[in-house]
């Protein structure tokens, strides 16, 4: 009995490792779901697959009881689908996060395969997913060369469309916004008695290899609404 239990634990661990490998690729590209998410999805799917197959064996001899070993496992596919949908969003009329959502769904399949004891299929699909992701991003720098995000602070005049102008300029120069926070400043100076209010944008940005952090300042200062630009080197 103890050897059977150890084998089940081994299946969960192998599934988690496969999920972590897929998640590492996503995390290295600053995607919404990374190592922890994919690891948990793979481990959870593997565990539920094991429960679905072996969790009700003690009821096999019960009268008037009909068991379906696939019933619990079948719910994983639809359940993980809702989880993956949370990573999909619209940005400037473009759908983002589809690949990550599909990866989470496929990771659940990997966990189910390994949980069912199909080690070769589960490990093979894990390697296939990672290989395809590498091939589709071959024009980008390898993981070790990924540049760390920079902290960008911009003060702009608060009116409709001001933030969109900033984001459009950043997008035109291949500067990816990882996170963005804004707050209203009533005035910049105490002697400013006008009705003008300002927005202070604090964001984390990922720079393309062709641009330096110091180049962002003049780019954003050329926008009429911008009052101040600061970026951590």
Residues 191 and 136 in one domain: no
Residues 122 and 38 in one domain: yes
Residues 104 and 62 in one domain: yes
Nearest to 100 by CA among 29, 150, 186: 29
3-state class of 64 per DSSP? coil
Residues 21 and 107 in one domain: yes
The residue out of 100, 124, 143 marking a domain boundary is 143
Residues 9 and 104 in one domain: yes
Residues 124 and 9 in one domain: yes
Parent domain of 133 = 2-143
Residues 155 and 139 in one domain: no
Report field, pTM of the whole predicted structure over 0.75: no
The dihedral through the CA atoms of 144, 122, 68, 74 has a sign that is positive
The residue out of 143, 177, 196 marking a domain boundary is 143
**pLDDT tens over the chain, length 233 residues:** 676 778 889 999 999 999 999 888 777 776 767 888 889 999 999 998 888 888 776 666 666 666 676 777 777 877 777 776 666 665 555 666 777 788 888 899 999 999 888 999 999 999 998 888 877 765 555 444 455 778 888 888 876 677 788 888 888 877 878 777 777 776 555 455 455 677 787 888 777 666 777 778 888 888 887 888 888 76
Residues 86 and 154 in one domain: no
Q: At CB < 8 A and 24+ separation, what contacts does 96-104 make?
A: 97/31, 97/32, 99/31, 99/133, 100/26, 100/31, 100/32, 100/33, 103/22, 103/26, 103/33, 103/38, 103/129, 103/133, 104/33, 104/37, 104/38, 104/41, 104/80
Q: How far apart are CA 151 and CA 153, in angstroms?
A: 7
Q: What angle do CA 94, 158, 191 make, to 5 degrees?
A: 160
Residues 181 and 105 in one domain: no
Residues 138 and 152 in one domain: no
The residue out of 143, 170, 194 marking a domain boundary is 143
Residues 9 and 116 in one domain: yes
Total domains, the chain: 2
Residues 133 and 196 in one domain: no
């Amino acid at each position: 009995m103890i050897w059977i239990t150890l084998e089940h634990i081994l299946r969960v661990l192998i599934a988690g490792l496969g999920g972590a490998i897929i998640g590492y690729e996503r995390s290295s590209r600053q995607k919404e779901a990374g190592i922890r998410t994919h690891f948990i999805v793979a481990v959870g799917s593997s565990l539920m697959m094991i429960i679905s197959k072996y969790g009700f064996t003690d009821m096999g001899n019960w009268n008037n009881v009909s068991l379906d070993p696939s019933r619990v496992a079948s719910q994983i596919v639809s359940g993980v689908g809702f989880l993956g949908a949370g990573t999909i969003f619209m940005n400037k009329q473009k759908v983002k996060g589809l690949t990550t959502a599909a990866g989470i769904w496929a990771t659940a399949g990997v966990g189910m395969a390994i949980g069912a004891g199909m080690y070769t299929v589960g490990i093979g699909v894990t390697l296939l997913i990672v290989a395809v992701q590498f091939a589709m991003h071959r024009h980008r720098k390898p993981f070790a060369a990924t540049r760390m995000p920079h902290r960008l602070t911009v003060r702009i005049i608060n009116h409709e469309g001001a933030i969109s102008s900033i984001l459009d300029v950043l997008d035109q120069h291949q500067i990816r916004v990882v996170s963005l926070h804004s707050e209203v400043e009533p005035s910049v100076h105490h002697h400013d008695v006008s009705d003008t209010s300002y927005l202070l944008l604090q964001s984390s940005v990922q720079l393309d290899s062709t641009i330096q952090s110091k180049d962002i300042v003049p780019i954003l200062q050329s926008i009429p609404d911008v009052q101040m630009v600061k970026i951590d080197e």
